[in-house]
Amino acid sequence: MIQLIRYGQLTAAPPLLAIPGLDGTVGSIKPMVMRLARQRQVIVVDFSAETNETLEQLVAEIGTAVKNEGLTSFDLMGQSIGTILAAQLAATPGLPLRKVVLTCTFTRLRWATLRWVARLTRLTPAPLYRLTAPLTIALSCGPVGDGRDHPAFAASRHSPQPTIARRTTWQINRDFSHDLRCIQTPLLVLMGEKDRFVPHAAREIEKLRLLFAHHPAQIEPIANAGHIFLPSAAIDAATAKIEAYLQ
């Protein structure tokens, strides 16, 4: 089950459909969503309660919900695993998609680390998990800077462990280059220069530039940012680039 949660009012600009990160709530992208919603309606795909067995099944569920909205035109944004969901959704026939924004995407991750994370997530006692989840976010998705009150930290405490483990396994033994390459619409990719989630941030940025060498894509780094844009300066820079691109 997914929910489409609206922020802001309808304007002359196409609405922006936003797909968040692993926990499926707006937490990882809320500061950007709130700012972008000043100029257009932002529709956040909350997939925190989904029960799909595969990533592809979740994409199909999102696609059905979007088609039922009857949008005549929309833009699409994803963060982290939400970028892979967005890439697959962008390849769905019949959607009136105009532009795509990916923040902190990846072609592939450290599969051995993901196996360990999924196992640890399942086995950690719930009270300990809730206590350590914000620290995990800070270490794996930082730098934090002045972003200690970022909604991602609160959201991490309430994420069901079996669900997080299941979605983590979706990313093991998979190279998502093909999914990303299937995006045919104009594309903006924003990557944190200090992204610790990918094997090597600088190499991942260059890999993406090569991947989209023959595509109308902009690949831009965000200074002092990790896998979640936590410091206010990173949020400001990313939001400004997104607003300029979508105009």
Q: How confident is the model at residue 208 (pLDDT cuts 50, 70, 90)?
A: very high
pLDDT level of residue 236 (50, 70, 90 thresholds) = very high
Residue 114: HSE in the Cβ half-sphere, 13 Å Cα cutoff: 19
The predicted model gives 42-46 an average pLDDT of: 98
- The whole-angstrom separation of Cα 234 and Cα 211 is 25
The predicted structure's pLDDT at residue 178: 96
What's the mean pLDDT when you consider all of the chain? Answer: 96
Whether the pLDDT of residue 216 is over 90: the answer is no
Give yes or no for residue 165 having a pLDDT over 90: yes
Structural domains of the chain, with CATH:
3-246 (3.40.50.1820)
Tokens of 183: 């995006």
User: Is the per-residue pLDDT at 215 higher than 90?
Assistant: no
pLDDT in tens, 27-43: 999 999 999 999 999 99
Asked if residue 130 has pLDDT above 90, the reply is yes
| Residue 10 pLDDT exceeds 90 | yes
Beta-carbon-side half-sphere exposure of residue 48 (alpha carbons within 13 Å) = 16
Query: pLDDT-derived band of residue 78, with 50, 70 and 90 as boundaries?
Result: very high
Q: How far is CA 196 from CA 91, 153, 157, 202, in A?
A: 28, 17, 21, 11
Confidence of residue 21 (pLDDT cuts 50, 70, 90): very high
Helix (H, G, I), strand (E, B) or coil at 233: helix
> pTM, whole model, 2 decimals?
0.96
